[in-house]
């Protein structure tokens, strides 16, 4: 069955959500709203259809909501999961080896293996932000740092929480996400990695959950610039003296703004890792 996409962009989340709601009148298979992570303030709104959508109705919707004209495309009928499995190579970041089940026989000896299936919608470990966070963990481990309490805020597939649970087997680890589906995915990943019961997974917006009260020796937050800046006081307050925050989900052009917010909250910068256009920051609470 053919699938058609209709995509447009417009400034501001409120306007994008309003357009997405109006797009439902065309009876799409689904609608998505995403922030474009380039600092432009633009949001993408997309509809998915089983037949080519009416171009006049799309033009009227775009004009009424101040959006660009919709670009309509027909998607080729491809088994995307099979394609990704063929093309998604394992990721190596220090001692960590992130792979799908199709590459389980390629794990080098002595590596910390983390199994994340290609079918997962987010957080397969191939993004520069996830790699940056894993490399930050590698540096902490190389320095002989021990962590007893760890929080992964906005955990997605929980690849970072799993990495922490593997390398600090006695640590208490909690993983949270605002999306209940992400928390379900995290729990499933923990199970297939033999870590069921090792990480406490909770649904939470930011740090708003009793399990996230701290203090933590390490907080991992691979999210976006806006939420990171908003959460700076909360994350800083939940760090134990000497504790570290590993922050990513940032373009290199956004790193200074996030760094300033956490320095204002009392943290001290330690390292920065740039991988392509993405940055990862490591800060420490004095003490």
pLDDT at 86: 54
- Average pLDDT, integer, range 103-123: 72
Higher pLDDT, 76 or 11: 11
CA angle 285, 162, 277 (to 5 degrees): 65
Instruction: Tell the residue number behind the tokens 């992130």, with chain if given.
Output: 98
| Model confidence, pTM | 0.71
Domains, in order of start, for the chain: 3-75 (3.30.70.260), 123-284 (3.40.50.150)
> Is the pLDDT reported for residue 126 higher than 90?
no
Does residue 125 carry a pLDDT above 90? no
Average pLDDT for 141-151: 96
88 pLDDT band (50/70/90 cuts)? Answer: low
* 124: pLDDT strictly greater than 50: no
What's residue 78's pLDDT? 61
- Contacts of 134 by beta carbon, 8 Å cutoff, 6+ apart: 93, 94, 96, 98, 125, 159, 160, 163
Longest dimension (CA), the chain: 63
Question: At CA 91, angle to CA 118 and CA 173, rounded to 5?
Answer: 80
User: What's residue 121's pLDDT?
Assistant: 40
C-alpha closest to that of 259 among 239, 232, 240? 232
- Model confidence at 122, pLDDT cuts 50, 70, 90, reads very low
Lowest mean pLDDT among 35-49, 123-137, 149-163, 236-250: 123-137
């Amino acid at each position: 069955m053919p699938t058609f996409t209709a995509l447009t962009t417009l400034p501001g989340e409120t306007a994008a959500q309003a357009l997405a709601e109006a797009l439902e009148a065309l009876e799409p298979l689904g609608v998505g709203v995403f922030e474009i992570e380039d600092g432009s303030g633009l949001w993408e709104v997309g509809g998915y259809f089983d037949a080519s959508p009416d171009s006049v109705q799309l033009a009227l919707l775009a004009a009424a909501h101040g959006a660009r004209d919709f670009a309509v495309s027909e998607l080729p009928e491809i088994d995307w999961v099979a394609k990704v499995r063929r093309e998604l190579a394992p990721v190596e970041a220090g001692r960590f080896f992130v792979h799908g089940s199709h590459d389980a026989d390629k794990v080098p000896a002595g590596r910390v293996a983390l199994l994340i299936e290609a079918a997962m919608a987010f957080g397969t470990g191939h993004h520069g932000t996830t790699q940056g966070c894993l490399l930050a963990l590698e540096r902490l481990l190389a320095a002989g740092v021990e962590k007893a309490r760890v929080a992964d805020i906005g955990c997605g597939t929980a690849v970072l929480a799993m990495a922490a649970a593997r390398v600090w087997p006695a640590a208490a680890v909690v993983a949270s996400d605002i999306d209940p589906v992400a928390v379900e995915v995290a729990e499933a990943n923990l199970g297939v990695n033999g870590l069921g019961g090792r990480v406490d997974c909770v649904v939470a917006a930011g740090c708003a959950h009793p399990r996230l009260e701290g203090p933590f020796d390490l907080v991992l937050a691979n999210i976006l610039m806006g939420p990171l800046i908003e959460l700076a006081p909360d994350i800083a307050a939940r760090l134990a003296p000497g504790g570290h925050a590993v922050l990513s989900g940032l373009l290199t052009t956004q790193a200074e703004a996030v760094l300033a917010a956490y320095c204002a909250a009392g943290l001290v910068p330690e390292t920065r890792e740039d991988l392509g256009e993405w940055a990862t920051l490591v800060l420490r609470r004095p003490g």
